[in-house]
Copies of this chain bind each other. A is one copy, B any other.
Amino acid sequence: MTEDNIRVVLVHPTHPGNIGGVARAMKNMGLTRLVLVEPREHPAPEARWRAASAGDVLEAAQVVATIEEAVAGAQFIVGTSARERRIPWPVQDARRCGERIHSHARGGEQVAIVFGREDRGLLNEELELCNLHCHIPSHEAYPSLNLAMAVQILCYEVRMAALGTSEGTEEDAVWDTPFAPAEDMARFYQHLEETLVQIGFLDPQAPRQLMRRLKRLYNRVRLDEMELNILRGILSETQKQRR
């Protein structure tokens, strides 16, 4: 599977809570291969607690001594970097990195996503192992993301790439009732206008923009058939009051 070709590498993580947070962030997005390069504290209760139901990812984490071991076999390596480098390296934002990671992994390649220390990130010689540097476009007021948060964003972008972006763009794509056809809407507007005249809210001699505004409202929303029935039921009850 594509996801099995992707590993997340943490270089010298200091806080076990972050390791647990990373495990959860990965599993939430369908990734499971975690590699730890000389973690300061592992395993640790705080990591277990933060991992929640991703304890399996945490327990299966591979612990190695060097970043070279961690990326062994990897054919496409992405390193996350906050700082400017004296020698520019190929760099792309998290979205494009997610797409490229997914694309390489789907093609059967081994991919490593490498994250640095909480305080100093990746060192120059570690960044030089990478094919691509990833930039998360944070705000200049406070650009430094928490380690697990950075992993979450990258894993999220990998998953978004895997799902493709062309799905479910309409907000009412999942609905419980068919939307009402034009002829039913026309009957509803007639019923509405008639009722408004009867209760004295609409003066046929001076209608102004009232019906136009109401049509804009209900056409904007697209009424489903049940909603249409409810509204017509209300109109009918209102008309009964009148008699």
- A52 smallest CB distance to B (angstroms): 7
Q: How far is the CB of A137 from chain B (nearest CB, A)?
A: 6
Contact of A217 with B227 at beta-carbon distance under 8 Å, contacts A176-B87, A199-B241 already known = yes
**Range class of the A interface residue count:** 35 or more
Instruction: For the complex, give the distance between the alpha carbons of A143 and B30 in Å.
Output: 9
Given contacts A28-B138, A90-B172, A199-B238, whether A146 and B230 have CB atoms under 8 Å apart is: no
Verify B168–A93 contact, CB threshold 8 A. yes
Is A174's CB within 8 Å of the partner chain B? yes
- Does A153 interact with chain B (Cβ within 8 Å)? yes
**A residues near B, CB below 8 A?**
21, 24-25, 27-30, 50, 52-54, 87-88, 90-96, 132, 136-139, 141-146, 148-149, 152-153, 156, 159-160, 163, 165, 168-169, 171-172, 174-176, 196, 199-201, 210, 213-214, 217-218, 220-221, 223, 226-227, 230, 233-234, 237-238, 240-242
